[in-house]
């Protein structure tokens, strides 16, 4: 009697043999020398996976303007990776933002992730655009496109942005961003794949045809991820909380569970036709590297300069 299963379940098929999987990685600019070393070790570890691009966030209210620029510049100078610089329009005039756009372009940046950003008072406060500034994400996309012909990615919210009265209003904003020139949307992180596909149906029903790339957050620290999720409107399913239950003081097991949870999520997305993934790395490589390996990605020599 053979012990081989008669039919291999699709989730055990090595995905890269079937379709090309593309990934991108998000980092944040480091505050200290130690954080810089952690970031750079992560970039070096993940670079050989040949991501489509790596993005660098822009701190709330423009607080990391110089550090974002320096990180992007270092990626350009020291690797063969294509960096995407995040930019928000909070608390700044158009002139100030336009200067930042030009400085990115002059440095060689060809991809900007354009965002409205959160109010300076913090998430939950009422957002008021700067009187002389860009009003929202769509307005900023148009501003960038007026200055340079760079690729522009924007945000998307499968579970609705907390400021948005309805999902339809959210999709209206995405349509406005696409009309202004955005060619990719990256989603806020989510844990229930059905929410992503429901959102995708609504977006496609509006004839928005740009890629809506799922943003995947490997849960390195459940407490932190939960607090973050509450602020940005991502729901935490009961099953997810149950999986991390009792592990607050057990980082080793937490890490193993985190890979299992994220692997289950991305493999289900692949089974349902998704080929592009954006990983919120939190500047750590190990979980993301393992998940990419499960997705069938293998190191390529060409990615490191």
Q: Which residues bind ligand FAD (CB under 6 A)?
A: 57-58, 60, 86, 88, 113, 115-118, 127, 136-137, 155, 161, 163-164, 169-170, 173, 186, 188, 215
Instruction: Pick between residue 150 and residue 243 the one whose CB is nearest to ligand FAD.
Output: 150
Q: Which is nearer to ligand FAD, 212 or 259 (CB)?
A: 212
CB-count burial class (<10 Å; 0-12, 13-18, 19+) for 98: middle
Of 4, 18, 26, 66, the active-site residue reads: 26
Q: Are 212 and 185 in contact (CB under 8 A)?
A: yes
CB of 21 to ligand FAD, least distance (A): 19
Query: Measured between alpha carbons, how far is 174 from 29 in angstroms, rounded to an integer?
Result: 27
Closer CB to ligand FAD, 19 or 146, in the complex:
146
Nearest Cα residue to 59 out of 46, 71, 48, 49: 71
Please give the backbone phi and psi of residue 23, each rounded to the nearest 5 degrees, phi first: -130, 160
Report in angstroms how near the CB of residue 172 gets to ligand FAD at its nearest. Answer: 7
Q: Considering beta carbons, is residue 135 or 302 the nearer one to ligand FAD?
A: 135
Residue 43: CB partners within 8 Å, gap ≥ 6? 27, 54, 75, 79, 81
Q: Between residues 170 and 243, which has the closer beta carbon with respect to ligand FAD? A: 170
Which helix (H) or strand (E) covers residue 212, if one does? strand 212-213
Question: Residue 60 CB, nearest distance to ligand FAD (Å)?
Answer: 5
Give Cα 253 distance to the centre of its chain.
25
26 in active site: yes
Terminal Cα distance for the chain, rounded: 52
In the complex, the smallest distance separating the C-beta of residue 50 from ligand FAD, rounded to whole angstroms, is 21
206 secondary structure, DSSP code: T
Beta-sheet strand order (sheet of 83-88): 212-213, 184-187, 151-156, 111-115, 83-88, 53-56, 22-27, 276-280, 215-216
Q: How far is the CB of 166 from ligand FAD (least distance, A)?
A: 8
Task: Give me the DSSP letters along 135-191.
Answer: -SHHHHHHHHHHH---EEEEEE-TT--TT-SSHHHHHHHHHHHHHHT--EEEEPP-S
- What is the smallest separation between the CB atom of 302 and ligand FAD, expressed in angstroms? 27
Lookup: tokens for 112: 């900007």
Q: Of 159 and 170, which has the nearer Cβ to ligand FAD?
A: 170
Query: Hey, which residues are catalytic here?
Result: 26
């Amino acid at each position: 009697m053979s012990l081989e299963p008669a039919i291999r379940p699709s989730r055990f098929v090595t995905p890269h043999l079937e379709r090309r999987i593309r990934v991108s990685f998000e980092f944040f600019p480091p505050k200290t020398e130690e954080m810089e070393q952690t970031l750079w070790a992560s970039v070096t570890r993940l670079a050989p996976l040949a991501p489509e691009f790596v993005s660098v966030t822009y701190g709330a209210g423009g607080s990391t303007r110089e550090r974002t620029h320096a990180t992007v510049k270092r990626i350009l100078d020291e690797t063969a990776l294509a960096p995407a610089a995040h930019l928000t329009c909070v608390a700044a005039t158009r002139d100030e933002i336009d200067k930042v756009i030009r400085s990115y372009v002059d440095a060689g940046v060809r991809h900007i992730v354009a965002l409205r950003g959160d109010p300076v008072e913090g998430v939950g406060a009422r957002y008021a655009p700067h009187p002389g500034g860009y009003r929202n994400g769509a307005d900023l996309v148009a501003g960038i496109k007026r200055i340079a012909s760079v690729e522009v990615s924007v945000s998307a919210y499968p579970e609705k942005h907390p400021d948005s009265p309805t999902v339809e209003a959210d999709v209206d904003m995405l349509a406005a961003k696409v009309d202004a020139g955005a060619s990719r949307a990256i989603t806020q992180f989510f844990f229930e794949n059905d929410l992503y596909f429901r959102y995708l149906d609504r977006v496609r029903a509006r004839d928005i045809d740009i890629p809506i790339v799922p943003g995947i957050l490997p849960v390195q620290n459940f407490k932190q991820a939960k607090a973050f999720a509450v602020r940005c409107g991502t729901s935490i399913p009961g099953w997810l909380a149950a999986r991390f239950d009792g592990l607050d003081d057990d980082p080793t097991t937490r890490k193993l569970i985190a890979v299992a949870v994220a692997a289950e999520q991305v493999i289900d997305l692949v089974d349902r036709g998704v080929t592009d993934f954006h990983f919120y790395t939190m500047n750590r490589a190990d979980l993301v590297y393992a998940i990419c390996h499960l997705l069938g990605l293998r190191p390529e020599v060409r990615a490191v300069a």
